[in-house]
Amino acid sequence: KAGVTQTPRYLIKTRGQQVTLSCSPISGHRSVSWYQQTPGQGLQFLFEYFSETQRNKGNFPGRFSGRQFSNSRSEMNVSTLELGDSALYLCASSLAGDHSNQPQHFGDGTRLSIL
């Protein structure tokens, strides 16, 4: 069974640009979450989508947005990139419905570097 796939694995952008990252969840999983990981702040929750609707949102500015498609694939977009956006962006999927304890399965992330 294929795991969570994130593309691209590495990305270099400059300040002010925008970027779109892609995540393909495990087949059958309907919940997709995004996290940002930096050395200083650790792993921080960005947002979660379930059945094409944003179900949870972390404490990030509006420059960070996402969406989920009918096949559960998800994208996240960051506009007006800042140096501090340099991070590993992780996607996780789950079989979960509401109030479920199904585990999250993570991809290996997209490493975004801002110059």
Residues 6+ apart with CB under 8 A from 8: 21, 110
Q: Does residue 4 bind other proteins (CB under 8 A)? A: yes
Looking at the Cβ atoms of 66 and 109, the one nearer to other proteins is 109
Q: Does residue 58 bind other proteins (CB under 8 A)? A: yes
CA-based nearest residue to 76, from 41, 55, 42, 47: 47
Looking at the Cβ atoms of 55 and 67, the one nearer to other proteins is 55
CA-based nearest residue to 88, from 114, 62, 65, 67: 114
Q: Does residue 48 bind other proteins (CB under 8 A)? A: yes
Please report how close the Cβ of residue 5 comes to other proteins at its closest, in angstroms.
Answer: 11
Residues 6+ apart with CB under 8 A from 37: 43, 44, 87, 88, 89, 90, 109
Q: Does residue 107 bind other proteins (CB under 8 A)? A: yes
Amino acid at 61: P
Please report how close the Cβ of residue 82 comes to other proteins at its closest, in angstroms.
Answer: 23
Looking at the Cβ atoms of 78 and 94, the one nearer to other proteins is 94
Interaction site with other proteins (CB under 8 A): 4, 31, 33, 35, 42-45, 48, 50, 55-56, 58, 90, 92, 94, 96, 98-101, 103-109
